Structure 1
Amino acid sequence: MDKPPAAMEFSPGLTVIYGASDTGKSYVEEAVDYMLGASELKSVPEGDGYTRILLGLRVSDGRSLTLSRAIGGDTIEVFNHDLREVPSEPADETLKSKHNAKSKKNISRYLLTVLGIDGRRVLQNSGGKALPLNFRDLARLAVVNDTRMADQRSPVLGTRMPQNETREKSVFKLLLSGQEEPERPAAPSNLEKQFGKGKIAVIDHLIDETREKLTMEANQSQLRERLDRLQASLGEVTAAAIELAEVRTGLLRDRRGLEEIDLAAQQQAAEVQQLLARFALLKEQYESDLARLQMVGEAGTLLGYFQTGTCVFCGAEPQHQHPEHHVAESTQLAASVSAETRKTTDLLSDLLLMIEDLEEQAADIESARAARDEQLTLNAAELRALDQRMQPVDTDTTELLNVRSRVESELALHAQIQQLEDLKASLSTVAPALPAARPDGIPAADVADFERMIHATLEAWHVPGNNHVIYDPTTAELSVDGQPRKSRGRGMRSILHAAFAVSLARRNTARDLIHPGFVVLDTPVLTYRRPEDPEEERPELMTSDVVENFYQDLLENPLGQVIVIENPTPPTSIRGRAAVHAFSVDGSVRQGFFPPRDRQ
């Protein structure tokens, strides 16, 4: 019967599908896996009546492909263009869904050819048998359902079957190093045997020389444990140094502030002293003017009473002077002198008040300067005491760094010895034996590079702890801060699995190593709980800080295509930057992956 399409558009970057349970979110992940060769697809009631799935792919050369598979079918049709409806035209290719190393007419060989890695070989068992790679080997590392996300088994061991461990470790070795397993060698000739003996002698000599360089009586496991302890101690010492440095920075900031205030006060004091000097001169001038005015008044009185002849006030001759002429003139002079004396006296009074105010300001400035001197002296004493406290911290840091350097050098020597031992083991001088079956023989440099990548991812997500990562190729176990992933809680196992998958994709795409170029993560952060309150009555789910930084990192440091399936609403900051599909939540456009039955 006719059914409206149930479609989902994926972003070439980040796609987030979230919402209520039982709305078809995980069905999207399962359908993607089914189209990549999974053997079966779980049926759901909402899918009744739907008969075919289409999956669009865009390969690295820019071509668009569409895969078409009937639900329950064992063949997959390939169309060499972007197809959005059930096809009516014949397919460009028809492939089997199950891998077959002897035929190219299956989806696994087709996708491996698209990736340019068809024919790469991996170990099948510990006996050294090597078989071609299967695309399902890659899909298990790229498409992670919610059960495997929190599983206690290593992310490398995806099938949960012990008989597959050798192959799964060998697949991961191929991805991490790019080194495929060699073909079974032919039996060596007598000349090759003699030549091999010479090689072995040289290798033995190199092994002995390398062992002589070892200075610590500890094996690799003990050295790694010691390195973990050193990292933890360095973290503590570094935290103490940072705390002391912050205190010292505060003291220096206070000192600079006091010195700036003192400089401004010195400038103000200089200005006050300049004004006092000027006002002192002006005071002397006023006092001199008053003395002169007094002298003029006294002289005018005397002149008016005792002189005859021409009037000293108006210049009139005696015959033109009226009686008591000098009395009027002397009275006029006295009035002028008195008025000028009052004016000058008022100015002097105002000046004295200003001088008094400036002297008070100068005294206040000097008092404040003395207080600041005491503060600066105290600040200098605190800085000296803090520097004395920082000396042993600096010494401890230097010693820890030196010891860590020695331990890392010892580990490098052990790795070199292991490589020489592996090379020696590959040189057969007795029988045409197979090379050592070592699916865990990943070069130490590649392991360390992958460990650093996971560490950087966990740090970017703000996962609590030092996030010191160790991957053990022998057990395929991932440990963080000295604790194996399998012993962690469900939430932390999920976070670490997500970091593993993201870091592998990011590392391999950046280094042009083998990877499908996408990851699908089902419930990577839902079950994580804050470590500081695991016993609370209603524990919170993933802290917003980790959730926010989880999505922020996927946006800012793209690894290719990422599809995240979660229940909670993602941060609003990703809106407009990622494709977000909400199922059955307030404001969502759709109720689930399948259209509502009333529309069907």
Structure 2
Amino acid sequence: MNRLTLVHLTFLGVGKPPATVEFSPELTVIYGASETGKSYVEKSVDYMLGASVLKPIPEDAGYSRILLGLQVDDGRVMTLSRGLADSHIEVFNRDLRQLTTAPADATLGFKHSSTSQRNISRYLLKVLGIDGRKILRNSRGEVRLLNFRDLARLSVINDSRMAGEQSPVLTTGLPQNETGEKSVLKLLLTGQDEPVGPTAPGNVEKKVGKGQVEILDRLIDDNREKLTIPANQSELREQLGRLQDSLDNATSRSGQLIASRSALVRRRRDLEASDGTNQQRANEVRQLLSRFALLREQYESDLERLRMVGEAGNLLGYFQTGTCVFCGAEPEHQHPGHHLAETTRLAAAVAAETRKTTELYRDLISTIEDLDAQAAELNEENALHADQFTRIDTELRALDEQLEPLTTDTSEVLAARSRLEQELAIHAQIEQLEDMKASLSNALPVPPPARPDSIPVADITDFEQAIHQTLQAWDVPGENRVNYNPTSAEIAVDGRPRGSRGQGMRSIIHAAFAVSLARRNRACGLIHPGFVVLDSPVVTYRQPDNREADPELMTHDVVEHFYRDLLDNPPGQVIIIENGTPPAAITERARIHAFNADGSARLGFFPPQEQSSAD
């Protein structure tokens, strides 16, 4: 069978400098300070090999595509290309290191399918020459096709799994997957598929209810495959309770802020209504003042004309009583045809009109003054409204700034709660289906259980010896006698189960398990992807103060023996991610990437933000 070698991992983005690491075909060590992107390299490799999601980090902002270079034992070179949030993976049959608009040689989904080959799992299995291999699906003896993710979980190991208490064999931590995970190890140790056979005698299959049981089994399996959170119902309910408490707190705080904001909005609305009324009244006052200004001009013009008429009459004596200005006759001697009566009436009319116009003019002036006062008062109120608008808007912006993170947090909590509720609903549905199946199965004999632990003793012994030799080569304290229990999938060293050991020993045993599996299967020509990625296999080890008091403590040179063994007896390609500086003796024989470490020129996997923006 073929094996794969990782060549490079490269992040690309428009206007961004490439972020890349090159991998040695044997040993690559990535070490340095925390928060420099070391573990992100492991997660990105896993994502490119078919993991569903890659959780973003601030440093990957602006990067849109990931390239993973691969080389096959038969000489083929290929590049996998995937967006940071993409469900499809493109395959280029060449070494690609930059963004391209050229069409891919293949476009594949990330999710495995037994009915289609247009997915990365079936593609890589076909490259390895093992597509179509079968493992157990469940304890009823049903089988399924091998998924590349089954192999990737044994080869790409993150720091939490490395030191976790769960067996290295049980890679997902989900109880419903245990049978399949044990069957995967059996396939790797023996090279033999699980046989396809009946799950019960043929005469039983013909009984009434058999078809219903099969349908229920299928529904149960389908629902179990929908589960994405490695937790049981009790743990899910605890998580849901914590989320609900967090949501209640956020809702209470948001409710207070929203109530305050609503009160401000009501005040602003009332102020807008009052300001609108003032503006309308101010417009009316301005219109009246404009009209009264014209009327005032008219009154002043009328009074001016009456004054001129009066002056002209006085000058000519038209409006005087007594001696006639024309003939000198006294009033008693003036005959009836004289113009005395007319001129007297004219003078009276002019005087009366002058009095009337003057009174109207005075009333108009008083009205104008009153309107001017109203206009000044309205202007003051409008200015006061403007100040109030400014204060209210400032308070609203402050409340919005406080609400924005609460709204985001609440949305995230609601999304998480929704996921947990969906998981619990699936668990409840599985329980309901199991109950229905139990009621139907009373009439059916129980089919013989599958034997996921039926690994030949010779193969188990051989694998135990391989792990023993690895631990000895690494100078791990103790006799390092290894026992693997196929039923529980637990590994014990010197009689102590790995899950009961301290974090340091759990990590080193897990690393020995992965390395020994790769080394043994490479030597025997058995199934293995060809590479191992280990995140933090020896970071927890410290030199012991008293080794005799605690024989489990690591010797001071375990790390040196660990790296030396990987170089002297390579199990294939190994990529180590660590915080600590590797021994100086290996720097010339391995490919080393130092992230923000003493003497390193590289601050992290991604170029600094200043460099990115400058470019």
Same fold (TM over 0.5): yes
Q: Specify which of 95, 106, 118 is matched with residue 105 of structure 1.
A: 118
519, 544, 559: which one aligns with 2:571 = 559
CA offsets 1:348-402 (integer angstroms, 9 cap, x no match):
xxxxxxxxxxxxxxxxxxxxxxxxxxxxxxxxxxxxxxxxxxxxxxxxxxxxxxx
Cα distance, 1:46 vs structure 2: 0.6
Q: Retained in 2: the 8 A contact 1:526–1:542?
A: no
Separation in structure 2 between the aligned mates of residue 189 and residue 145 of structure 1, nearest angstrom:
45
Q: In the alignment, what sits opposite 2:15?
A: 2
Aligned amino acid, residue 496 of structure 2: Q
- Label 1:143 to 1:476 Cα distance change in 2 as closer, same or farther (>3 A): same
Separation in 1 of the partners of 2:180 and 2:202?
31
Distance 2:60 2:199 in 1: 55
Number of residues paired by the alignment?
Answer: 357
Alignment partner of 1:495 is 2:501: no
2:452 to 421, 439, 454: 439
Establish whether residue 462 from structure 1 lines up as the match of residue 475 from structure 2.
yes
Contact (CA 8 Å) 1:35, 1:67: kept in 2 or not? Answer: yes
Any idea what SS the aligned residue of 1:4 has? strand
Contact map agreement 1:112 1:135 (CA 8 A) in 2: yes
Q: Distance in 2 between matches of 1:464 and 1:485?
A: 14
2:348 aligns with: none
Spell out the pairing of 1:261-410 with structure 2 (5 A cutoff): none
Query: 1: distance between equivalents of 2:556 and 2:71?
Result: 34
SS at match of 1:167: helix
Counterpart of 1:125 in structure 2 is 138
CA distance in structure 2 between the partners assigned to 1:488 and 1:464 by the alignment:
13
Cα separation, 1, equivalents of 2:202 and 2:50: 44
User: Post-superposition shift, 1:586?
Assistant: 1.8
Task: Write the deviation string for residues 289-332 of structure 1: whole angstroms up to 9, x where unpaired.
Answer: xxxxxxxxxxxxxxxxxxxxxxxxxxxxxxxxxxxxxxxxxxxx
**Structure 2 match to 1:575:** 587
1:60 equivalenced with 2:73 (yes/no)? yes
**Quick check: 2:544–2:556 contact (8 Å CA) kept in 1?**
no
Q: 2:606 aligns with which of 582, 590, 594?
A: 594
The separation in 1 between residues aligned to 2:457 and 2:62, in whole angstroms, is 53
Q: CA RMSD in A?
A: 2.2
Counterpart AA for 1:590: R
Q: What CA distance in whole angstroms lies between the structure 2 residues aligned with 1:554 and 1:61?
A: 24
Task: Determine if contact 2:199/2:448 at 8 Å carries over to the other structure.
Answer: no
Residue 249 of structure 2 aligns with which residue? none
C-alpha change, 1:188 and 1:446, in structure 2 (3 Å) is: same
The answer to whether 1:95 aligns with 2:108 is yes
CA distance in 1, matches of 2:199, 2:508: 46
Q: Can you give the 5+ residue segments of structure 1 that lack an aligned partner in the other structure?
A: 191-430
Match of 2:173 in 1: 160
SS at match of 1:581: strand
Letter in 2 for 1:46: E
**Shift of residue 576 of structure 1?**
1.5
Name the CA shift for 1:447/1:541 in 2 (closer, same or farther; >3 Å): closer
Residues 526 and 541 in structure 1, CA contact (< 8 A), matched pair in contact too: no
The answer for unaligned runs of 5 or more in structure 2 is: 1-13, 204-443
* Aligned position for 1:20: 33
Distance in 2, matches of 1:566 and 1:487, equals: 24
Residue of structure 2 in register with 1:225 after alignment: none
Specify the SS of the correspondent of 1:519.
Answer: strand
Task: For residue 66 of structure 2, give the secondary structure of its aligned residue in structure 1.
Answer: strand
Residues 34-71 of structure 1 show CA distances to partners (whole Å, capped at 9, x for unaligned) of: 00000110111010000100000001101101000000
The one-character-per-residue Cα deviations of 1:130-186 (angstroms, maximum 9, x if unpaired) are 010100000000000000000001000010111111110111111111121111249
Structure 1 189/132 Cα, relative in aligned 2: closer, same or farther at 3 Å?
closer
Shift of 1:87: 2.3
Contact 1:77/1:91 (8 A) holds in 2? yes
> Counterpart in 2 of 1:11?
24
Q: TM-score, normalised by structure 1?
A: 0.57
2:151 matches 1:138: yes
Amino acid of the structure 1 residue aligned with 2:74: D
Secondary structure, counterpart of 1:33 in structure 2: helix
Q: What SS is found at the alignment partner of 2:533?
A: strand
Kindly indicate whether the alpha-carbon contact (under 8 Å) linking 2:26 and 2:570 is maintained by their aligned counterparts in 1. yes
CA deviations on 1:478-510 (whole Å, 9 max, x unpaired) are 000000000000000000000000000000111
Question: Does residue 46 of structure 2 align to residue 33 of structure 1?
Answer: yes
**AA at the equivalent of 1:550:** F
Aligned twin of 1:45:
58
1:47-106 Cα shifts (integer Å, max 9, x gaps): 000010000000110110100000010000000111111222100000001111110000
Q: Which residue of 1 aligns with 2:223?
A: none
Q: Give me the whole-angstrom Cα distance separating, in 2, the residues matched to 1:509 and 1:434.
A: 37
Match of 1:519 in 2: 532
Q: Percent identity?
A: 67
- Of residues 591, 594, 597, the one that matches 1:585 is 597
Which deviates further from its counterpart, 181-190 or 7-16?
Answer: 181-190
Kindly provide the CA deviation profile for residues 272-305 of structure 1, in whole angstroms up to 9, marking residues without a partner as x.
Answer: xxxxxxxxxxxxxxxxxxxxxxxxxxxxxxxxxx
In structure 2, the residue corresponding to 1:117 is in which secondary structure?
A: coil
d(CA) in 1 for partners of 2:136 and 2:588?
A: 45
**2: distance between equivalents of 1:541 and 1:51?**
45
Instruction: Identify if the C-alpha distance between structure 1 residues 130 and 71 changes in structure 2 by more than 3 Å, giving closer, same or farther.
Output: same
Q: Which whole-Å CA distance do the structure 2 matches of 1:90 and 1:597 have between them? A: 31
8 Å CA contact 1:121–1:131 kept in 2: the answer is: yes
The TM-score with structure 2 as length reference comes to 0.56
Q: Distance in 2 between matches of 1:90 and 1:45?
A: 30
Q: 1:239 — aligned with what?
A: none
Partner AA of 1:179 in structure 2: Q
1:188 and 1:491 map into 2 onto residues whose CA distance is 49
The aligned runs of 1:129-278 (5 Å cut-off) are 129-185=142-198
Aligned-partner SS, 1:111: helix
Task: In structure 2, give the amino acid aligned to 1:16.
Answer: V
CA drift at 1:529: 3.4
Specify the SS of the correspondent of 2:454.
coil
Read off the aligned partner of 2:586 and give its amino acid letter: I
Q: Is the 8 A contact 1:144 1:522 kept in 2?
A: yes
Distance between the aligned counterparts of 1:138 and 1:105, measured in 2?
19
Match of 1:546 in 2: 558
Mapped to 2, the partners of 1:451 and 1:561 lie a distance apart of: 22
Q: CA deviation at 1:575?
A: 1.3
Q: Quick one: distance in 1 between partners of 2:201 and 2:461? A: 35
Q: Report the 3-state secondary structure (helix = DSSP H, G, I; strand = E; otherwise coil) of the residue aligned with 1:549.
A: helix
Aligned-residue offset at 1:547: 0.5
C-alpha separation in 2, matches of 1:487 and 1:457: 20
